[in-house]
Amino acid sequence: MARALAMISGGLDSILAAKLIKNQGIEVIGICFRSYFFNEENAIRMTKQIGIRLEAIDFSEEHLGIVKNPKHGWGKNMNPCIDCHSMMMKYSGELLEKFNADFIITGEVLNQRPMSQNRQALDIVKKESGYSDKILRPLCAKNLNPTQMELDGLVNREELLDISGRTRTIQMELAEKWDIKDYPSPAGGCKLTEPNYSIRLKEVINRKGDITKKDIDLLKYGRHFVTKNNIKIIVSRTGDEGEELKKILTKEDIVFFTSKFNGAMVIIPEGNNPTEEDITLACRFAVRYSKGKDEESTEVKYGNALTNFKNVRSVNAITQEELDMYNLNN
């Protein structure tokens, strides 16, 4: 029996491509990728619906490198889709021998995404993967030249599809036909496609250059501000978010909170070197997002996370005008 490795993003298209090949009597093993910006959560849920095995591959560090400096540039936000897909195909190609598989399948659809899935982009991805003769795109195969797998009769070309463009009508019909009900919105699993997240990521890359996993984890939470001295200030939105932030913090982070009023947790993350002006500003953020915001002066305690806070300042709340000045498009 022939065997294929299906690149599973966790979205609908990739699982339909896998199902289409499985229906030809070919064994399919799902391959998904884990990075700092997406994981296998959706892929696990999707592969269960069509009954195929799933292998998760962590390529976080290498992927971060292309996010910071993509050869083919970013998409609308910080998503380097062409470079990302090429890297995924390269990894998948290297796994062919390990899993004794014959070829790779993907859920790409010609012209579905104007920048990353036009004909030129699809060709670039195949070529730069190093495994161009092993890649099959079942959903749009009839719009492309036959692959060697089709010419050799390993795959029946007549049972492949000719989907093109941005409409998803055919995919929705197939999902209903094959009883695939639980699927996310397109690109729903990748943080790099989110505008606000991308703004935060670009700012921390520009400010620090050599960013860490902790820097990236902090981007998921709170309101983000940057002072005129280029110091990052993070303000938690909810109590639950504050608890999640506490799991990330270390003694190198500075934490601020109002001592007599309930309010948000404010953080200046490690790697920043705040001036006295920045410390006062962070205290004023803590007041602004507390129940003491209307007081003429409110006490704020602060210090390094996971220690006893011995520092105290009494300040007034930051104004809306100042918020707008420092706001990182939250």
pTM of the predicted structure, to 2 decimals: 0.85
**Mean pLDDT per segment of 10 residues, for the chain of length 330 residues?**
93 95 97 94 94 96 94 90 91 95 93 64 78 92 94 95 88 93 74 92 89 93 94 95 94 95 95 94 97 95 92 95 83
Q: Which residues contact 319 (CB under 8 A, 6 or more apart)?
A: none
Residues 171 and 232 in one domain: no
Q: Which pLDDT value is given to residue 123?
A: 73
Say if residues 285 and 304 touch (Cβ distance below 8 Å): no
CATH value at residue 64: 3.40.50.620
Say if residues 235 and 289 touch (Cβ distance below 8 Å): yes
Q: Which pLDDT value is given to residue 301?
A: 96
What single-letter DSSP state applies at residue 304? Answer: E
CA distance 161 to 150: 13
Parent domain of 59: 3-188
pLDDT, tens digit (0-9, with 9 covering 90-100), for 190-228: 899 999 999 999 999 988 888 999 999 999 999 999 999
Domain membership of residue 205 (yes or no) is no
Residues 182 and 229 in one domain: no
CA distance 254 to 280: 12
Tell me the one-letter amino acid at 283: C
Domain membership of residue 98 (yes or no) is yes
pLDDT, tens digit (0-9, with 9 covering 90-100), for 90-113: 999 999 999 999 999 999 988 666
Residues 28 and 139 in one domain: yes
Question: DSSP string covering 91-143, please?
Answer: HHHHHTTTTT--EEE----BTSSTTTSSHHHHHHHHHHHT-GGGEE-TTTGGG
Domain membership of residue 214 (yes or no) is no
Domain total of the chain: 2
Q: Which pLDDT value is given to residue 240?
A: 93
Residues 181 and 319 in one domain: no
Q: Which pLDDT value is given to residue 113?
A: 65
